[in-house]
Structure 1
């Protein structure tokens, strides 16, 4: 067996460098583009907000999300699928319903990327 070294994320700050701290490499840019593309739709942005507002550990059934939109349940499920593929939410099927919850580490990484030192200082 070969010995592999695993990179410890967060040690050098590269994993969560803000937009003004360091240029993005190709892989990180592709990863972030996928997330921003998922968030670029108002329906998906609202869905993420509705799920995240349940608080940490909170979850919401798709049956509770659908009435908030003038869209069919399959369309809502498609938008939720795109949020899942972007790594922002996860889900679990229970009987006929699917329950969704936010993935806080994904939101934390996104927030860290968007937060610049000058913006943080302005809020302090």
Structure 2
């Protein structure tokens, strides 16, 4: 597992770990990785970038499609995209001179489900 993947996404058990997060105490490593991901999306520019990528046609956006939405320099946008990528929230592919980003739905699902109290958690089949 890379250091950029949340360690609680898939345990190989019958019940997805994300639905158990609020039923069992988190380990220190799990808490650190979840906090890192929440911190990454807790910054307004990064949250907007995430929204722009997720809502873009086809579910992915070229970095060239993202820079015009901000009054920030290209390197600043690249830094924010790097933080999102390193937190495991987005992933990107280089195509020629551009990088195309897409959201990692498994990570967003984990973050969302980690906030659901145990009594409200729905176990998917």
Q: 5 Å matches for 1:29-108?
A: 29-54=31-56, 58-108=59-109
What is aligned with 1:112? 113
Q: For 1:5-24, list aligned pairs within 5 A.
A: 8-13=11-16, 15-16=17-18, 17-19=20-22, 21-24=23-26
**Unaligned 5+ runs, structure 1:** 1-6
Measure, in 1, the Cα distance between the counterparts of 2:28 and 2:11. Answer: 20
SS of 1:83's equivalent in the other structure is helix
- Partner of 2:107: helix, strand, or coil? helix
Give the 3-state SS of the residue equivalent to 2:59 in structure 1.
coil
Q: How many pairs align?
A: 112
Q: TM-score normalized by structure 2?
A: 0.78
Q: What is the RMSD computed on CA atoms of the aligned residues?
A: 2.2
Unaligned runs of 5+ in 2: 1-9
- Asked if structure 1 preserves the Cα contact closer than 8 Å seen for 2:113 and 2:121, the reply is no
Which protein has the larger Cα radius of gyration, Structure 1 or Structure 2?
Answer: 1
* 1:114 aligned counterpart, secondary structure: coil
Aligned residue number for residue 4 of structure 1: none
